[in-house]
Amino acid sequence: MTPAASTNNNSLPYTISLIPQTEEGLQFYLNNYVPFRLRMLQLSPEAFSSTYSRESSFPPSTWRARLFNPHARTFVAANRQAAEQPSQVVISSLTLVLAADDSSRHGPDEQELEVSNWQVNAMFTLPEARGRGAARGVLEFAEDWAVRSNREWQVENQEAPGARRRERQHVKFSLAVMEGNESAGRFYERVGFKKLGKEEITGGVMVRWYEKRVGGGSDDGI
């Protein structure tokens, strides 16, 4: 099985999809995404705040809770051809997490806007799949999904009985890159993210924050 809502470019060796929050989506998540997730924690432990030893002991209920988190969505690029191992089905992925806006980090002008604010988490592409556009494709697919979701929110808000008209004027994407990971920083700048300040997170690790904003109105696009 494959996740739903995928791209239709048959010239690519992979499809890009949102893993649906359904029982069918859960089976894909457990059978294919989880092995990919554990493999990436083994390949690049320095890039993530979690560890392979921690997550490899998670029961299925923990993974289920992650997929069905109402404030998060996971996007993947998956091989079109059958893979030899479950960990090779998904070749690139990221998770969007809906976050409360933090104006103190990004400046006081944010206080003047209602912003749909998504944090980009756990973005990774397998080493053997790099250079084929999968990472950029997954990111653009996720951004487009977030913008469309924002438009739908506006329509529902405006049509609700007695609702006060509100507009989220922007959709904002933010992410943190571990200090020293220059190649990742350059990639995010190439796809439109702006470099912001540094911050010390749990364990004394330094990260550099990046941000990208796109129009969120009914006539705006990516």
What is the pLDDT, as a whole number, of residue 218? Answer: 43
What is the pLDDT, as a whole number, of residue 12? Answer: 85
What is the pLDDT, as a whole number, of residue 202? Answer: 73
Q: For residue range 156-186, list pLDDT tens digits in order.
A: 666 555 544 455 567 999 999 998 899 999 9
204 inside domain: yes
Q: For residue range 8-52, list pLDDT tens digits in order.
A: 567 788 999 999 999 999 999 999 999 999 999 999 998 898 999
Task: Enter the tokens of residue 79.
Answer: 């091989």
Mean pLDDT (whole number) for 183-210? 91
Domain that residue 78 falls in = 14-215
5 inside domain: no
147 inside domain: yes
Q: For residue range 110-155, list pLDDT tens digits in order.
A: 443 456 899 999 999 999 999 999 999 999 999 999 999 888 876 6
Q: If you count them, how many residues does the chain have?
A: 222
9 inside domain: no
88 inside domain: yes
Check if the beta carbon of residue 28 is closer than 8 Å to that of residue 64: no
Between CA 167 and CA 124 the distance in angstroms is 33
What is the pLDDT, as a whole number, of residue 8? Answer: 56
Query: Based on the number of CB atoms within 10 Å of its own CB, is 219 exposed (0-12), middle (13-18) or buried (19 or more)?
Result: exposed
181 inside domain: yes
What is the pLDDT, as a whole number, of residue 86? Answer: 81
Residue 106 has pLDDT above 90, yes or no: no
Chain-wide mean pLDDT for the chain? 84
What is the pLDDT, as a whole number, of residue 220? Answer: 43
What is the pLDDT, as a whole number, of residue 3? Answer: 53
The torsion defined by the Cα of 12, 13, 16 and 21, in degrees rounded to 10, comes to 150
Residue 212 has pLDDT above 60, yes or no: yes
More confident residue, 47 or 56: 56
What is the pLDDT, as a whole number, of residue 216? Answer: 52
Between CA 196 and CA 108 the distance in angstroms is 14
What is the number of domains present in the chain?
1
CATH of residue 130: 3.40.630.30
Scanning the structure block, which residue is given the tokens 């010239």?
Answer: 11
Mean pLDDT (whole number) for 82-100? 88
Residue 217 has pLDDT above 70, yes or no: no
220 inside domain: no
2 inside domain: no
